[in-house]
Amino acid sequence: MLTGLSSLFDGFSLLPSALQYAFVVAFGLVIGSFITVVVHRLPTMLERGWEAGVAEYLKDRPDASAATRPKGAESEEPRQFDESQPPPPPASPYNLMHPGSHCDACGHRLRAWENIPVLSYVLLRGRCSQCDVPISPRYLLIELASGLLAALAWWRFGAGWPAVAGFGFAAVALALTCIDWETGLLPDVITLPLLWAGLLINLSPTFAILSDAVIGAAAGYGFLWCVYWGFWWWRGVEGIGHGDLKLFAALGAWLGWSGLVQVLVLSSVTGAIVGLLMLATRRMRRDEPLPFGPFLAIAGCITLFAGTPFWPSLPLYGSGAFGG
Ligand SMILES: [Zn+2]
């Protein structure tokens, strides 16, 4: 099947360049539209899952809720899960497919023409056709960023699997950037498959040779693990989140260990600059943590696409073949 698809790439690359890019950008915009759904819904899906898990756990162990209650409050609070009460009605399913795309303000179900990436936003002039409430421009920005990344991957890696993989990586990085920035979460359901995908893609050396990818995954996790516990002993706080460890491991799997030095330097420097700017402009409180995931993800993308110009002594596998 892979050979069949490879000859499809050969046929596709015979098309005029403008037409190729038109297809590639359109594909990127459609994926971008899906990313907006993931960014919008996945955090809520995770929270509901955790709440259901906790409720399930406490239902099986009614004394557990008493154990976590503050002292002296034992008799005041009623039991949270009273078996004489009827169970709550099952919530309607909420996932990436259900309910269908709708306006958050009025519930209006989007018709097909209202759901076209970018074009619908322009046609609707950024407002819901039913209630006229403005649609957040972030949907448009995510779709445009995804279209741009698809074109960039095609230009950088040429017609073939590395371009598809490179864009896949960038699309996931885009989703993680938005989710972590807004919620402080780096969901395992994204970071762990990203790690496995990096190892699988480098089975046949693409962005790194396999041994460098395996070492990169372990070194990425191990290094930030040390940073995490170092912070814990030194300051008694979590300096970084567990999600950052898994994301850095995934970056190691994609880029190989040699790309991680640049990623770490770039992400730390840009993170510090952005953090200081946000403090200076009062957009962040001093005790508020700044998510590190966006800086890791963006530095990972820069390294995958551009190699290691900021750390040339550690080049990536096959770098130098710029522009496909
Ligand atoms: Zn509406």
pLDDT, tens digit, for every residue of 278-309?
Answer: 999 988 888 888 999 999 999 999 999 999 88
Taking the C-alpha atoms of residue 28 and residue 144, their distance in angstroms, rounded to an integer, is 8
Least-confidence region, from 33-47, 80-94, 258-272, 310-324: 80-94
pLDDT, position 179? 97
At 134 the three-state DSSP class reads strand
Average pLDDT of the segment spanning 105-122? 92
User: Higher confidence at residue 4 or residue 57?
Assistant: 57
Structure tokens at 184: 């402080």
From the CA of 25, how far away is ligand 1's center (Å)?
28
From the CA of 186, how far away is ligand 1's center (Å)?
30
At 317 the three-state DSSP class reads coil
Q: What is the pLDDT of residues 156-203, one digit of tens each?
A: 999 899 999 999 999 999 999 999 999 999 999 999 999 999 999 999
From the CA of 127, how far away is ligand 1's center (Å)?
8
pLDDT, position 34? 96
Average pLDDT of the segment spanning 138-164? 95
pLDDT, position 1? 59
Whole-structure pTM value: 0.87
Q: Could you tell me if 32 and 144 are in contact, meaning their C-beta atoms sit under 8 angstroms apart?
A: yes
pLDDT, position 68? 54
pLDDT, position 319? 62
Written as one string, the DSSP assignment of 105-124 is TT-PBPPGGGGSTTHHHHHT
From the CA of 129, how far away is ligand 1's center (Å)?
7
Q: Is the preceding peptide bond at 312 cis, omega within 30 degrees of 0?
A: no
From the CA of 283, how far away is ligand 1's center (Å)?
29
From the CA of 164, how far away is ligand 1's center (Å)?
36
Model confidence at 135: pLDDT above 70:
yes
Model confidence at 77: pLDDT above 70:
no
Least-confidence region, from 6-15, 28-37, 220-229: 6-15
Q: Could you tell me if 144 and 28 are in contact, meaning their C-beta atoms sit under 8 angstroms apart?
A: no
From the CA of 35, how far away is ligand 1's center (Å)?
21
CA angle 123, 18, 35 (to 5 degrees): 50
Model confidence at 95: pLDDT above 80:
yes
H, E, C per residue of 198-266: HHHHCCCCCCCCHHHHHHHHHHHHHHHHHHHHHHHHHHCCCCCCHHHHHHHHHHHHHHCHHHHHHHHHH
* Residues within 5 A (CB) of ion ligand 1: 103, 105-106, 108, 128, 130-131
From the CA of 244, how far away is ligand 1's center (Å)?
36
User: Higher confidence at residue 243 or residue 62?
Assistant: 243
Average pLDDT of the segment spanning 38-52? 95
Model confidence at 2: pLDDT above 80:
no
Written as one string, the DSSP assignment of 67-114 is HTSPTT-TTTSPPSS-TTSPPPPPPPP-SSSSSPSB-TTT-PBPPGGG
Model confidence at 83: pLDDT above 60:
no
Model confidence at 257: pLDDT above 80:
yes
Structure tokens at 304: 């995958």
pLDDT, position 322? 40
From the CA of 52, how far away is ligand 1's center (Å)?
30
- Taking all residues of the chain, what is their mean pLDDT, rounded to a whole number? 89
